[in-house]
Structure 1
Amino acid sequence: MIKKIQINDARFPLGKGAGSDAIHRDPIYSYAVTNLIDDSGHIGTGFAFTLGEGNDLVCKAAAFYAKQLKGRDIEELMANFGAVFNQFANEQQFRWLGPHKGVVHLALASVTNACYDLWAKKRGVPLWKLLTDLTPQEIVNTLDLSYLEDELTTEQALHLLQNNQPGKSDRFQIIEKGYPGYDTSIGWFNYSDEKVRENCRKAVAEGFTAMKLKVGSADPERDIRRAHIVREEAGDDIKVMLDANQQWTLPQALKICKDLQSMNPYWIEEPTHPDDILAHATLAKAIAPTKLALGEHVPNRIIFKNYLQTGSAGFIQVDAVRVGGISEFITVSLLCRKFNIPVVPHVGDMGQLHQHLVLFNHIAMGHEALFLEHIPHLQQHFVHPVKIEGGVYKTPVEPGSSCDLKSLN
């Protein structure tokens, strides 16, 4: 039974240009942390990710949700978590502040993720193991599929999971091999050209087969020059992604994306405002076969549904600390599986949580084990930091979701 709630505002300045992009020049990587403590001493840890200011607001909203879980048994709670999620997400006064987006939805992510972490720790298994051992019906019971009925009913979600049961044992081999990673830290926006070149060489030496560069400069020639530096250092066999972090208007994106195609990007990420679905649809058609990657700032399953319906996204970057947590992440992953679009999560959380979720996506749903973003800046703050060897995520073995922070233990 959940006996105690703790909410913490954890902030970690980065410095030296790390984490910078075209929009967010001086980020302070921050977590609104929820701890759910049960009567046996297990602590469920979940968080939402912000860049500093406003983190306290998310913490206050998380406390509102979390206090309603006191006295609940985690097994009983998770047996029908989809209904709990729906209740919280549609709480009338908080819903007005969204709906299903912004501070209140980030808070719901923090609390939801703490529930899943506590569930896994109570069972004494890593989160990926807990999720892959659930039956299709048990998985569906944790989801809120409201507003998706035109594309994904409860029955369709159940059938999709059931239909992917064959081959599950073969896909389980990923546990031994590890999940491929890609390096985002080669090309933060504030890094010099020389630093980018040096980081590319280092990433290749470390075994990464994919890497990402931040673009969106006031002078497009800077982006083009730096993109070609990365391609030159990486070679033709390495996947190189470009991330504009919403910097361009549609007319700007139409021009510069075509110019950037000369270096053969694997994808172009967040080229314009994340709410402008039709702009992305227009751009996707204009620059085909180059694909767009979208989702870092998409807050809920309904907008993801629209991106999929319009054919805007070649890759979906749903983030379990941006949407309403693990439950909504799985829901979006099911939608993507229906549309046969790869899921490559945004990793604002250093991959701690998402390393579990991509294993589940691959094993239980049959998603391609493409790769997972790797950002190392906060690893020293975690009790069980991710392990990367040869550019590959090693499978976590400790119970839970790998989200415990040293400063809070």
Structure 2
Amino acid sequence: MTHSANSAGRQGEATLDRIAWIRLSSVTLPLATPISDAKVLTGRQKPMTEVAFLFVEVETEQGHQGVGFGYSKRAGGPAQFAHAKEIADELIGEDPSDIGRLWTKLVWAGASVGRSGVATQAIAAVDVALWDLKAKRAGLPLAKLLGAHRDSVRCYNTSGGFLHAPVEEVLENASASLAGGIGGIKIKVGHPDSKQDLRRLTAVREHIGDDVPLMVDANQQWDRPTAQRMGRAMEDFGLVWIEEPLDAYDTQGHAALAASLDTPVATGEMLASVAEHYELIRGNAADIIQPDAPRIGGITQFLKLAALAEHHNLQLAPHFAMEIHLHLAAAYPIEPWVEHFDWLEPLFDERLTISDGRMHVPARPGLGVTISEQARAWTRATHEAGVRP
């Protein structure tokens, strides 16, 4: 195989393997029920009916394989696939172990479109695949490769508490989640009628009892005065956190709110880079930080952010994508939370084990997931680079 002069100049006798082949797949996951949160009720978005995924499969000359994925809700999936398609050739002939260098190489390959958003979200799927490959080659679960602090992580359910569901359904979903071993319940708030939020929250707290961890999520739909009023009104519910009470980029507003409430403030899921999260951390704008590895550029970037968060003694509760975030949360020194969504289960052959309020790191190497035949059937486009060994 011919390798570029640039690659050869960076590789020596320590390079034991090279990337030979990459396949990108654009997969659209249909949701059984249209999903509505506060963004829908305020008219900013339409109900969500599907989630777009970018899957990346990597194989080396020696036959080692890795799989990674990223996603986009409502819009952006085709753009992620298109960007990944443009830069995929940059990896052929490279050492798959040099993940940090390869992340930088891919960023510079598409530098004109920036270092956040769609560009780095496309890179994220590649980055996750390379970490999966590295852990598989080592014969270790990814959490163990990174250096786990625990073999299971506290978990809470979100998918049963959306605003489109009547309160009776939310209560049934909460009971089912707790019976299935999940440790906490999160419900959506941000209804235009704040009394409706408080009625739903009261019903859920009375239903699950005072000892079950309970969180709420306003999805950025409150202004500062409303967030202050609702935050004070919710103090007596013993919430683990109030999530995204304000616009994701309102650092000053979040900081003021966090300083004024006993209930912790959590945010960060919508930020698209480590730099954006750094502004949040520097401004003391969150008690609990909620990064999303596929949104900020993958595992390489997540680890940088985790180091910053630990330095500031922040709690961690990664957003969505539990198949990835379970491993990253397990490697975080301060006891974290991981979010349970069952939406992604049809995409994989394996299931994660949940019991006693915790999600357990699988013994399988890497992420511990393989792409299902159903995911293959939902594939809308593919692209290959290199030659499969």
Question: 2:348, 2:370 within 8 Å by CA — same for their partners in 1?
Answer: yes
Distance 1:294 1:90, change over 3 A: farther
Residue 58 (structure 1) shift:
0.2
Bigger strand fraction:
2
Farther-moved stretch of structure 1 (122-131 vs 222-231): 122-131
Q: How does 1:157-306 map to 2 (within 5 A)?
A: 171=149, 174-175=150-151, 178-286=152-260, 288-306=261-279
Per the alignment, residue 393 of structure 1 pairs with 359
Higher relative contact order (Cα pairs below 8 Å, separated by 6+ residues): 2
Question: 1:353, 1:402 within 8 Å by CA — same for their partners in 2?
Answer: no
Q: Select 1:367's aligned residue among 320, 330, 334.
A: 334
The one-letter code sitting in structure 2 at the alignment partner of 1:405 is: I
Q: C-alpha deviations, 1:189-211, integer Å up to 9, x for none?
A: 21111101112222333333311
Distance 2:356 2:52 in 1: 28
Residue 378 (1) aligns with residue 371 (2): no
Per the alignment, residue 141 of structure 1 pairs with none
Distance 1:65 1:356 in 2: 27
Distance 1:299 1:74, change over 3 A: same
Where in structure 1 are there 5+ consecutive unaligned residues? 133-167
Distance 2:273 2:225 in 1: 27
Residue 104 (1) aligns with residue 119 (2): yes
What's the Cα RMSD here?
2.0
SS, match of residue 284 in structure 2:
coil
Q: How many residues align?
A: 352
Q: How does 1:9-158 map to 2 (within 5 A)?
A: 9-17=26-34, 19-23=35-39, 25-75=47-97, 77-78=98-99, 81=100, 83-91=101-109, 94-98=110-114, 100-132=115-147
Question: 2:183, 2:356 within 8 Å by CA — same for their partners in 1?
Answer: no
Per the alignment, residue 7 of structure 2 pairs with none
User: Structure 1: which 4+ aligned runs deviate by more than 4 Å?
Assistant: none
Residue 391 (structure 1) shift:
3.0
The percentage of counterpart residues that share the same residue type is 31
The one-letter code sitting in structure 1 at the alignment partner of 2:330 is: L
Q: C-alpha deviations, 1:27-61, integer Å up to 9, x for none?
A: 41221111112223333211112114320110111
Question: 1:379, 1:386 within 8 Å by CA — same for their partners in 2?
Answer: no
Distance 2:62 2:104 in 1: 28
Distance 1:392 1:20 in 2: 27
Distance 1:339 1:392 in 2: 25
SS, match of residue 170 in structure 2:
helix
Residue 123 (structure 1) shift:
2.4
Where in structure 2 are there 5+ consecutive unaligned residues? 1-17, 40-44, 377-389
Distance 1:274 1:4 in 2: 38
SS, match of residue 48 in structure 2:
coil
SS, match of residue 186 in structure 1:
coil
SS, match of residue 346 in structure 1:
coil
Farther-moved stretch of structure 1 (181-190 vs 395-404): 395-404
SS, match of residue 345 in structure 1:
coil
| TM-score of the two chains, using structure 2 as the length reference | 0.85
